[in-house]
Amino acid sequence: MLQPACQAYAPGEKKGAGAMSRTLRIFGLLASLCGCAGGGFLPYASRSLDPATLDSLVSGASQANGVPPGLVRAVVMAESAGDPSAISSAGAQGLMQLMPGTSSSCGIANPFDPTENVQCGTGYLRSLLHRYHNNVTLAVAAYNAGPGAVDRYHGVPPYPETRAYVVRVLNAYHNY
């Protein structure tokens, strides 16, 4: 017969003797994931900026770069869900998920600094809008897959991730 996890014990140990040990190991694992101050890594834990702060960053970068604020916000939310500490498996960093080369070309010292990240990402988005003659669909596709892929396919690349990303960003943009 199966026992509930809270009543399980290893063969040869006294009933209940391992429960405290398992509990301490679980708390130790959680402590190491979250860190003493809560700044550790716990997948899917929300570290999003509060909406007012995010709106202020987006508004400033949007105005400085001549990019619609709804588009910038849609990209931020698609890229990082507003989490300035986000890191992708490909190495993209921060709110707008800047690749190290993009950060470097903007001259920003800290890609996790929300202001620098959004300014750089919005400037990059502006350059893509210029490159694709204000075609938002192509600019958004290039933001995700890179301009080389958009140029190679003469449009949105056939990558499922990029196609889904473009739909997600454009839907959000039209709703902001």
C-alpha 3/C-alpha 66 separation (Å) is 63
Catalytic residue among 13, 79, 116, 161: 79
**Residue-wise pLDDT tens digits, 87-132:** 999 999 999 999 999 999 999 999 999 999 999 999 999 999 999 9
Residues 6+ apart with CB under 8 A from 155: 138, 141
Q: What pLDDT sits at residue 40?
A: 40
What percentage of the chain exceeds 90 in pLDDT? 73
Q: For the domain 51-175, what is the CATH code?
A: 1.10.530.10
- Active-site annotation holds for 13: no
Residue 134 has pLDDT above 80, yes or no: yes
- Estimate to the nearest angstrom the gap between the alpha carbon of 13 and the chain centroid: 45
Q: Would you kindly state where each structural domain of the chain is located, as residue ranges?
A: 8-45, 51-175
DSSP label at 7? G
The closest alpha carbon to 82, from 97, 62, 67, belongs to 97
Question: Mean pLDDT throughout 20-24?
Answer: 49
- Taking the model in full, what pTM does it have? 0.74
